[in-house]
Amino acid sequence: MGDFKKGDIVTFVDQGSQSFGEILSVRKDDCDVKILVDKEERVMRVLRSRMQKSVKIIAEDMDNMVNLPGESGSGKTEAFKRITQYLACTSEQGKNSLSSVARRVLESTPILESFGNATTVRNDNSSRFGKLVEIFFAKSIIIGAKITNFLLEKSRIVGQSEKERNYHVFYELLSSLDNESKAKHHLKNVEDYQYLMKDSRRAFSTHSDPDGLSMLLESWQTLGLPQDEMDLCLRVISAVLHLGNITFKSDNDKDNTFITNPFVAEIAASELGVDLTELAKVITMKLTVRIMLSFK
**CATH code of 162's domain:** 3.40.850.10
Distance CA 67, CA 69 (A): 6
Question: What confidence score (pLDDT) does residue 104 get?
Answer: 81
Pair (120, 205) in one structural domain = yes
Computed over every residue of the chain, the mean pLDDT equals 77
Pair (234, 169) in one structural domain = yes
Pair (62, 127) in one structural domain = yes
Query: φ, ψ for residue 249 (rounded to 5)?
Result: -140, 135
Neighbours of 267 (CB within 10 A): 20
Pair (142, 106) in one structural domain = yes
**45 is a domain residue:** no
pLDDT in tens, 20-34: 344 444 444 433 334
Residue length of the chain: 296
**10 is a domain residue:** no
Distance CA 73, CA 258 (A): 43
Question: What confidence score (pLDDT) does residue 182 get?
Answer: 94
Query: What would the mean pLDDT of 137-157 be, rounded to a whole number?
Result: 87
Pair (223, 161) in one structural domain = yes
**20 is a domain residue:** no
Spatial CA neighbour of 106 closest among 37, 172, 54: 37
Question: What confidence score (pLDDT) does residue 28 get?
Answer: 45
What type of residue sits at position 14? D
Binding residues for ATP: 70-77
Distance CA 91, CA 237 (A): 38
Pair (257, 140) in one structural domain = no
Pair (169, 265) in one structural domain = no
**131 is a domain residue:** yes
Task: Answer positive or negative: Cα dihedral of 196, 198, 199, 205.
Answer: negative
**165 is a domain residue:** yes
Query: What would the mean pLDDT of 162-171 be, rounded to a whole number?
Result: 92
**289 is a domain residue:** yes
Pair (214, 254) in one structural domain = no
Spatial CA neighbour of 194 closest among 114, 119, 264, 89: 264
Pair (229, 252) in one structural domain = no
Strands 293-295 and 256-259: unpaired
What's the total number of domains in the chain? 2
Pair (256, 237) in one structural domain = no
Pair (233, 255) in one structural domain = no
Strands (E), the chain: 10-14, 22-26, 117-118, 126-127, 130-138, 141-150, 248-251, 256-259, 288-290, 293-295
186 or 124: which leads in pLDDT: 186
Its domain, for residue 278, covers: 248-295
Q: Using 50, 70 and 90 to split pLDDT, how confident is the model at 162?
A: confident
Binding residues: 70-77
**197 is a domain residue:** yes
Residue 153 has pLDDT above 50, yes or no: yes
Choosing from 243, 259, 281, the residue where a domain stops is 243
Question: What confidence score (pLDDT) does residue 156 get?
Answer: 95
Residue 124 near residue 207, CB atoms below 8 Å: yes
**28 is a domain residue:** no
pLDDT in tens, 76-103: 877 887 777 777 776 655 555 556 777 7
